Every structure is written in structure tokens, then in C-alpha cells.
Amino acid sequence: MPAYILIKAVDGWTPADPMVYQKGYPVVVMETDQYVGAQVLPTFVQLVISDATVDDVKHYAKVWMREVDWEIIASNLSIDGHRLRVFTKASLVSASGLNSLTREKVEAFLNKWGASIISVAANSVTFDILISHAIQSDGFWDRDVSDFVFTETGYVQTGGIHTTEANYSSVAEANPNNVAAAIVRAGGTVINNDAINKKMTFTIPRSTVLDKFKGDVGEKTYGPFACRATILTPAAVDAIIAAGGNITRTKAQVASYLHDRLTD
């Protein structure tokens, strides 16, 4: 079944907003028997690709996402400190740097985990993080823990196992079961639960902490950068409008209509 594409024919009402469909943006890709064929000018134009299926061209309507990746630059296992670099995946960054990672996009999340930014470059932020500090951070606990008192009581370099005491005696409403559940949810193991004095000791390996950290920051920075990376050129849209707003072309012909914004 030939593929049908509905394309925006005019700019959206807020052209500066990357998530608003602009002129030339494919809005939806579907099979030709799924649309009614009604004239949709002046807002949209329609394009049927006679020799392509939806699977062939569905990437035209793919959202341009932001997704980060990581590199460990150096580690000091005696203190379990690590220098990492976080960056937007290269395949998602345009030639001129559109969708690059900036300090502003990631700083708050790094701070929440007790990390310290060292340097910023085009599409990357380099930072230091101590596992012991990460364990005691708001990011690890998924809440404000400024009213907790933490003490690292042990660290085994081989395997990176940290033992930490969490004293939550100043938190009147704190429930030992909830504190224990938060530790287990983060991947730790409770080894002593002093419910009377509101102290809890637990162990957790560095790998688990790093995985949780990367997952949390990755999830919070993941999201759409723009509606589309593949668009039709303004000239192509104008040609469809001139033809009445509804044309049929081959996939080879449509290739000349397209612009990949990753080349910008």
C-alpha cells in the first residue's frame, strides 16, 4: 500500500518553538487507505509516494530527540572518585552543533548528585563525582536529604562496596520502612536497622550507584529537541501547493524534496 504523508504548509503560530510544526514538517505518515483525501490547504499539503510503504518512509515523521552518552576519563579507586564526560550522542547532533549538550541542560542534575563540573566544551560537560558523595545526595535518594546525617563507615576498593550509615533522627515524620525501601529501590542492602535511634546502615557497590546516576541524568535530559530532523524544503512545499495541494511522486522524486537538518 503506497505511503501517504501529511505535511505542514505554513509556519506554526510560534516559529521559535522547536516543538511546533513549521512549513515543510511531515506531520503524519500512514497508508493511503487510511486518509480521506480531502483538501487540507491552506494549513497542510498531501504527498503520496507510489512506490514506498509506510515502513519505508516512517522515519520522515520521527521526532529529533536529545539523548546523552557517557565516557569515563579517569578513576581514582582509592577514594572511588571518577571523572566523566557526558555528551549528546553524535548521531543526534547537526554539523553546526544543533542539539549539542550545554552546561545549562545538565548542570542542575549533576549538582543534585553531588558532582562538580570541571570543564565545558562543544557538546560535552566534564565533571568529577565521588561515589561516597553520590550515595549521600538528593539524586540518589530521590528527595531532599539535607536533614539526614550520613557517615561512610566502610569501603572495599575491590568491588567498590560502600557501607554508609544514614541518621534520620531529625526527621520527625520519617518511617524506618520507607527509608529501607528507598535504599533497596536504589540497589542497596540494609545491614542494620536501628529503628529506635533512627539510624540505618547499608551497603551498595559503586557500579550500582553509577548506573543509577547515569540512568537518572540520562532520563532527565532525554527528550525532544525538535519536531522533525527530516523536512521538505520550502520550494517543495510551494510546488505541492501550486499543484493543488495533493500530489503523487516516486520515492526517488521525493528524495529531491527532502532536507536533513542534521546537515545544517
Backbone angles phi, psi at 239, to 5 degrees: -65, -40
pTM: 0.87
Task: Report the distance separating Cα 184 and Cα 207, nearest Å.
Answer: 15
pLDDT in the model for residue 15: 65
pLDDT in the model for residue 23: 94
- Choose which CATH entry (3.40.50, 1.20.1070, 2.40.160, 3.30.70) describes domain 66-132+210-223: 3.30.70
- Scanning 32-162, the segments in alpha helix (DSSP H) are 54-57, 103-112, 131-135, 138-141
Q: Under a CB-based contact definition with an 8 Å cutoff, are residues 23 and 42 in contact?
A: no
Backbone angles phi, psi at 80, to 5 degrees: 55, 50
Peptide bond preceding 42 in cis form (omega within 30 of 0):
yes
Exposure class string for 120-135: b at 16+ Cβ within 10 A, else e: beebbbbbbbbbbbbb
Which H helix or E strand runs over 239?
A: helix 234-242
pLDDT in the model for residue 101: 97
pLDDT in the model for residue 114: 98
Total length of the chain? 264
Nearest to 81 by CA among 206, 186, 208, 205: 206
Residues in the chain where the model's pLDDT stays below 70: 15-16, 33-39
Backbone angles phi, psi at 217, to 5 degrees: -65, -40
Q: How many CB atoms lie within 10 A of CB 160?
A: 18
